[in-house]
Amino acid sequence: MSTPKMSIAHRLYTGHLSYDFIKHRRQWFIVSGVLVVASILLLLVRGLTLGIEFTGGTDFQAPMKIEAGTVDAVRAQAADLTVSDLEPQVFSLGETAIRIQTRTLDTEELQTTRAEIAQIAGVDSSEVAYNAIGASWGKEISRQGVIALLVFTVLVMLLIAVYFRDWKMSIAAIVAVAHDLIVTVGVYAAVGFTVTPSTVIGVLTILGYSLYDTVVVFDKIRENVHGLEETNHTYSEQANLAVNQVIVRSINTTVIGIIPVVALFVAGTWLQSAQLADLGLALLVGMIAGAYSSLFIAAPLLAWLREREPGMVKHREQIQRRAERAERKAAQREAEALALATAGGPAPVETAPRQQRRTSGSRAERKGRKK
> Average pLDDT over the chain, rounded to whole?
83
Task: For residue 133, give every residue at least 6 positions away whose Cβ sits within 8 Å of its Cβ, in sequence order, or none.
Answer: 52, 53, 56, 57, 58, 59
Mean pLDDT confidence for 138-147: 78
Once rounded to an integer, what is the mean pLDDT over residues 163-168? 89
| Helix or strand holding residue 98 (H, E) | strand 97-102
- Mean pLDDT over residues 313-334, rounded? 89
Give the mean model confidence (pLDDT) for residues 80-99.
82
Query: Which of 93-107, 118-132, 133-147, 346-360 has the lowest average pLDDT?
Result: 346-360
pLDDT cut 90: percent of the chain above it? 20
Tens of pLDDT, residue by residue over 196-218, are 877 888 888 888 888 888 898 99
62 burial via Cβ count (<10 Å: 0-12, 13-18, 19+): buried
- Ranking 19-28, 237-246, 262-271 by mean pLDDT, the lowest is 262-271
Q: Note whether 89 and 101 are within 8 A (CB).
A: yes
pLDDT in tens, 212-264: 888 989 999 999 998 888 888 999 999 999 998 888 888 888 888 888 888 88
The per-residue pLDDT for range 51-72, each reduced to its tens digit, is 877 878 888 988 888 777 788 8
